[in-house]
Amino acid sequence: MLLRDVFRFTGRSVLAHRMRSILTSLGIGIGVAAVVLLTSIGEGINRYIVEQFTQFGTNTIAVQPGKANTLGISAGVFNSVRPLSLQDAEALLRAPYVLHSVPAVSGSASVEARGRERNVNVFSVGPEFDQAFRFRVSRGTFLPHDDLERPRAVVVLGSTVYEELYGNENPLNDRVRIGGERYRVIGVMESKGDMLGIDLDDTVYIPAASGLTMFDREGLHEIDILYDDGANVNEVIAGIERILVARHGGEDFTIISQQQMLDVLGSIINVLTIGVGALGGISLLVGGVGIFTIMTIAVRERTGEIGLLRAVGAERSRILQLFLGEAVLLACLGGLGGLCAGVGIIAIVNITIPAMPASIAIEYVGLALGIAVLIGLVAGVLPARRAAAMEPLEALRTE
Amino acid sequence: MMRLRQLCRDFQVGDQVVHALDHVDLEIRSGEYISVMGASGSGKSTLLNILGLLDRATSGTYTLNGADVSTLDDNALAEQRQENIGFIFQSFHLIPRLTAVENVELPMLLSGTPVAVRRERAQEVLEAVGLGARFDHRPDQLSGGERQRVAIGRAIVMKPSLLLADEPTGNLDSRSSTEVVEIIEQLNDDGISLMVVTHDPDLGERARRHLFMRDGKIISDDGDAA
Ligand SMILES: Nc1ncnc2c1ncn2[C@@H]1O[C@H](COP(=O)(O)OP(=O)(O)OP(=O)(O)O)[C@@H](O)[C@H]1O
Ligand SMILES: [Mg+2]
């Protein structure tokens, strides 16, 4: 029998019961659609997060006070931990490959200018913040290199803060009140958008020492390090560790590299994606049971036909092939239908809700289709073997 | 061409053994026209099925074209059925979702004949059985007589040497019966061996050789001497 004729014959059998075939394929179709949808949303979220984290470069390292132990609780809560100081931040500039070392304290406060008031994020950072994170000012300058402990009271406004308080007017050298203290405006940032939900444009930037006073903190929230692209991240971390251990007399700080963070996030999202994919897998399984049922019925209904085919020369292996082919065809129809539905829904989501991150995970789509075929084979093998095992004469006599 | 020697076919039913064929000796030469008659349960269908390689003997030998068929495996039997034997059943056994021409093509489809070749041959055969205008009709759009003629077309499309018909007119009215019988007799005139199992004495009488069976034995055979 020519392969083309095998396809055509099984196709005719599937087409002969249109409604029944569609309903049978539906189970697999829903499973594949679910896998495509869920994994695509997972992949979309993954990409979104990676984008968020890497928009300011991947060669950054954060140093935080306190040592996270294996329980994930900062030991600093219980032990006396030396806070990270402005001097620590300055000292880290001497670590190998370190390009910028940026002390950071953050919080929120109200800003008043020209009789208007607005609640904003306050980033109190070192003067190299703009270079480390590729920020640019649109007017004036960023925070100056100043006396570490006693910097001048100056502020750089985020673009939204500027527009809300000043409209189009020149803000430079104007006085604003932040958390009750007076600051002189020396610059306005270019618009930057969001980072993990924080509106960087609705933020004001003041010197790190001012932030420590404003929020009444002993030490920094974090020191952000930017290192040379070509450097090995482990060497950079070792250098930072050496300097801080020498200054603190112990390891009472935590170093997190951007890369580590991405790895951890990536693995969490992978686990989620796999779990969600497994849910779709369950509907595939149910679809498989449907195919098994229908094929069992088909073999019983067409016993006479099996006898006839055997009488006019079909071998057992041919009967097996034809019925197995029918099961796989049903599964493939379902798989393709589900794939189209899934991809269609994602396309619609992407057009109608651009904020919803969804992007098709090709490897999962391939996997879902492969599994659909496999399910067709597994579901079809028992009924097909029963058909092939029939004695031609007995099959012919069954009415 | 075909020879049965001391052939038995037993069926085990519960703790009883039914001797459907009981030490049958039979020789069939090519081109013969044989009818098989006898009471219900006498073993006519069993004999036909053994000859058609749809069933295997319990003991004894069956030689087909000089070869002992008991040595053939399942696939070889299927091949022999495909090439040498055409079946006509009382209940037609057409595939309902296929058209007349596709039903006729079926053995060629299974043997791997290319579409163009088998389509032409199937149409030729359908015209020969008088269904030239019914190529694209499905079985449920055909009368009983027409269905049996499609089945005859399917049986002869591979040009077999032996045509086996088990009560071919059993489900037909007398007019259709006559048409069907005339067609298969014409095929016999063209050289194909023909064996017809029937309960109809008139039809049985038309054959050139007549077998009568009772209790699994051939009790009369007027062509054995020839
Ligand atoms: N598969 C089977 N299992 C058990 N017994 C069988 C089987 N097939 C046939 N027999 C028995 O063998 C005997 C011969 O059956 P067969 O079908 O050859 O009779 P027949 O002459 O064709 O009868 P009919 O004219 O009614 O068709 C019967 O007694 C029948 O019961
Ligand atoms: Mg019978």
More confident residue, A281 or A13: A13
Do A45 and A142 share a domain, yes or no? no
pLDDT, mean of residues A151-164: 93
Nearest protein CA to atom 24 of ligand 1, as residue: B40
CA distance linking residue A194 with residue A52, whole number of Å: 8
Whether residue B224 is predicted with pLDDT greater than 70 in this model: the reply is: no
Choose one of A199, A225, A251: the last residue of a domain.
A225
* B134 within ligand 1 shell (Cβ under 6 A): no
Q: Is B9 in the pocket of ligand 1 (CB under 6 A)?
A: no
- pLDDT tens digits, one per residue of B121-132: 999 999 999 998
* Mean pLDDT confidence for A314-339: 94
pLDDT of residue A74: 52
Asked if the Cβ–Cβ distance from A312 to B52 is below 8 Å, we say: no
Q: Is residue A214 one of the residues assigned to a domain?
A: yes
Question: Last residue of some domain: A225, A252, A272?
Answer: A225
Answer whether residue B192 shows pLDDT above 60.
yes
Q: pLDDT per residue over A219-229, tens digit each?
A: 999 999 999 98
pLDDT of B196 > 80? The answer is: yes
Question: Which residues contact residue A72 at a Cβ distance below 8 angstroms, ignoring those fewer than 6 apart?
Answer: none
Nearest CB to B74 within list A9, A308, A316: A316
What is the spatial distance between Cα A153 and Cα A176, in angstroms, rounded to a whole number? 10
In a domain, B120, yes or no: no
Tally of domains within chain B: 1
Q: Is A264 on the interface with B (CB under 8 A)?
A: no
Q: What is residue A298's predicted lDDT score, i.e. its pLDDT?
A: 96
**Can you give the length of chain A in residues?**
399
| Amino acid A363: pLDDT | 77
Instruction: Nearest chain A residue to B46 by CA: give it.
Output: A393
Bridge partners of residue A105, in order along the sequence: A124
Ligand 1 atom, smallest distance to B12 CA: 4
A399 at the B interface (CB within 8 A)?
yes
With cut-offs at 50, 70 and 90, classify the pLDDT of residue A69: low
CB B171 within 8 A of CB B91: yes
Q: Are B106 and B95 in contact (CB under 8 A)?
A: yes
Q: Does the pLDDT at position A55 exceed 90?
A: no
pLDDT-derived band at A369 (thresholds 50, 70, 90) equals confident
Identify the CA nearest to A122 among candidates A157, A149, A88: A157
- Supply the DSSP string of A52-108, one letter for each residue: HHHTT-S-EEEEEES-B-TTS-BGGGTS--PPP-HHHHHHGGGSTTEEEEEEEEEEE
Both A110 and A33 in one domain: the answer is no
Mutate to test the interface with A, among B84, B87, B109 (most CBs of A within 10 A): B109
- HEC string of chain B equals CEEEEEEEEEEEECCEEEEEEEEEEEEECCCCEEEEEECCCCCHHHHHHHHCCCCCCCEEEEEECCEEHHHCCHHHHHHHHHHHEEEECCCCCCCCCCCHHHHHHHHHHHHCCCHHHHHHHHHHHHHHCCCCCCCCCCHHHCCHHHHHHHHHHHHHCCCCCEEEEECCCCCCCHHHHHHHHHHHHHHHHCCCEEEEECCCHHHHHHCCEEEEEECCEEEEECCCCC
Query: Do A313 and B83 make contact, defined as CB atoms within 8 angstroms?
Result: yes
pLDDT of residue B87 exceeding 80, the answer is yes
Chain B contact present for A12, CB below 8 A: yes
Which residue's CA is the closest to the ligand 1 atom numbered 11? Answer: B20
Residues surrounding ion ligand 2 at CB below 5 Å: B 45
Residue A164 phi/psi, 5° resolution?
-65, -35
CA distance B122 to B137: 14
Task: Note whether A184 and A122 are same-domain residues.
Answer: yes
* Residue B88 included in any domain: yes
A211 C-beta neighbours (distance < 10 Å), count:
25
The reported pLDDT for the residue numbered A79 is 55
Would residue A285 count as lying in a domain? Answer: yes
Q: Tell me how many domains chain A contains.
A: 2
User: Mean of the pLDDT values across residues A323-346?
Assistant: 92
Name the domain boundary from A225, A245, A275.
Answer: A225
Summarised one tens digit per residue, pLDDT across range A166-178 is 988 999 999 999 9
Inside any domain, residue B181: yes
Tell me, what's the pLDDT at A80?
58
Tell the residue number behind the tokens 């034809």, with chain if given.
A322
The verdict on residue A242 lying in a domain is: no
Q: Is residue B166 part of a domain?
A: yes
A268 and A218 housed in the same domain: no
Query: What's the gap in Å between the CA of A15 and the closest CA on chain B?
Result: 9
| Strand (E) or helix (H) holding A149 | none
Does residue B180 fall inside a structural domain? yes
Among B54, B92, B111, B158, the residue to mutate for chain A (most A Cβ within 10 A): B54
Average pLDDT, rounded, for chain A: 88
pLDDT in tens, A25-36: 998 998 888 888
| Residue A178 φ/ψ region, left for φ over 0, alpha for ψ in the -120 to 50 degree band, beta for the rest | beta
Which ligand 1 atom is nearest residue B197's CA? Answer: 22
Handedness of CA A229, A235, A241, A244 (dihedral sign): negative
Token pair, residue A192, equals 């930057």
B119 touches A at CB < 8 Å: no
C-alpha torsion sign, points B149, B153, B156, B159: positive
In this structure, the residue with its CA closest to atom 25 of ligand 1 is: B40
Judge if the beta carbon of residue B103 lies within 6 A of ligand 1.
Answer: no
Alpha-carbon span A156 to A142, nearest angstrom: 6
Cα–Cα distance measured from residue A258 to residue A109, given in angstroms and rounded to the nearest whole number: 28
Is pLDDT of A342 > 50? yes
Domain membership of residue B28 as a residue range: 2-93+160-221
Cβ contact, residue pair B93, A308, below 8 Å: yes
Longest distance between any two alpha carbons in chain A, whole Å: 103
Whole-number Cα distances in Å, A99 to A92, A133, A229, B103: 10, 12, 10, 82
pLDDT band at B93 (very low <50, low <70, confident <90, very high): very high
Question: Residue A143 pLDDT more than 80?
Answer: yes
Ligand 1 contact, B43 CB (< 6 A): yes
Query: B54 at the A interface (CB within 8 A)?
Result: yes
Interface contact flag, A312 B91, Cβ < 8 Å: no
pLDDT at B117 over 60: yes
Best CA proximity match to B20, nearest among B55, B70, B52, B63: B55
Distances (CA, A) of A246 to A91, A239, A242, A243, B59: 11, 11, 6, 5, 100
Among A94-108, A337-351, B37-51, which stretch is predicted with the lowest mean pLDDT? A337-351
Does residue B45 fall inside a structural domain?
A: yes
Q: A230 CA to middle of ligand 1, Å?
A: 89
B13 lines ligand 1 (CB under 6 A): yes
| CB B72 less than 6 A from any atom of ligand 1 | no
Q: Cβ(A376)–Cβ(A325) under 8 Å?
A: no
Residues A293 and A348 both lie in one domain: yes
Q: Has residue B113 been placed in a domain?
A: no
**Strand order across the beta sheet in which B85-88 lies:** B85-88, B162-166, B193-197, B33-38, B209-214, B217-221
Q: What is the reported pLDDT for B226?
A: 47
Cβ atoms of B28 and B92 closer than 8 Å: no
C-alpha B38 – ligand 2 centre gap (Å): 10
* Same-domain status, A216 and A270: no
Give me the interface pTM, i.e. the ipTM: 0.95
E strand or H helix that includes residue A216: none
Residue A273 and residue A210 share a domain = no
SS3 at position A195: strand
Tens digits of per-residue pLDDT, B143-174? 999 999 999 999 999 999 999 999 999 999 99
Residue B40 counted as domain residue: yes
What is d(CA A241, CA A229) in angstroms, rounded to the nearest whole number? 19
Nearest to A16 among B78, B97, B110 (CB): B97
Specify the pairing of strand B33-38 against strand B193-197: parallel
Does A29 map to a domain?
Answer: yes
Quote the distance between the C-alpha of residue B65 and its chain's center: 17
Distances in Å between the Cα of B154 and the Cα atoms of A12, A279, B82, B98 are: 19, 50, 11, 12
- Is the Cβ of B190 closer than 8 Å to some Cβ of chain A? no
Quick check: CB of B98 below 6 Å from ligand 1? no
Q: Which of residues 171-230 of A touch B (CB under 8 A)?
A: none
Provide the shortest C-alpha distance from residue A264 to chain B (in Å): 58
pLDDT at A121 over 90: yes
Q: Are residues A220 and A273 in the same domain?
A: no
- B116 CB near ligand 1 (under 6 Å): no
Nearest to B142 by CA among B86, B87, B92, B88: B92
- Domain residues for the domain of A17 are 3-52+264-398
Per the structure block, which two tokens stand in for A209? 């020492």
Ligand 1 proximity of B41 Cβ (cutoff 6 Å)? yes
Residue A208 has pLDDT above 50, yes or no: yes
**Ligand 1 in reach of B42 Cβ (< 6 A):** yes
Measuring CA to CA, which residue among A208, A221, A139 is closest to residue A172? Answer: A139
pLDDT-based confidence at residue A273 (cuts at 50, 70, 90): confident
pLDDT band of residue A91 (cuts 50, 70, 90) is: very high
Residue A246 lies in a domain: no
CA distances from B169 to B100, B106, B125, B147, B184 (A): 19, 22, 20, 11, 11
- Judge whether A77 lies within some domain: no
Q: Is residue A106 part of a domain?
A: yes
Nearest residue to B131 via CA among B79, B176, B188: B176
Using a CB-CB cut-off of 8 Å, the residues of chain A touching B110 are 1, 309, 312-314, 318
Mean pLDDT across chain B, nearest whole number? 94
Question: A113 pLDDT exceeds 70?
Answer: yes
Whichever domain contains B73, its CATH number is 3.40.50.300
The pLDDT of residue A214:
92
The pLDDT of A14-29, averaged and rounded, is 93
Helix axes of A316-352 and B74-84: crossing angle, nearest 10 degrees: 90
Interface test with B, best of A9, A312, A315, A319 (most B CBs within 10 A): A312
**Could you say which residues from 127 to 166 on chain B have a Cβ atom under 8 Å away from some Cβ of chain A?**
154, 158
The two structure tokens encoding residue A140: 């004036």
Phi, psi of A201, deg, nearest 5 = -90, -20
pLDDT recorded at residue A193: 82
Determine the Cα–Cα distance for residues A273 and B26; give it in Å rounded to an integer. 73
Residues of A in contact with B163 (CB under 8 A): none
Q: Please check whether residue B93 touches A, CB under 8 A.
A: yes
pLDDT at position A197 over 80: no
Q: With bands split at pLDDT 50, 70 and 90, how would you rate the model's confidence at A45?
A: confident
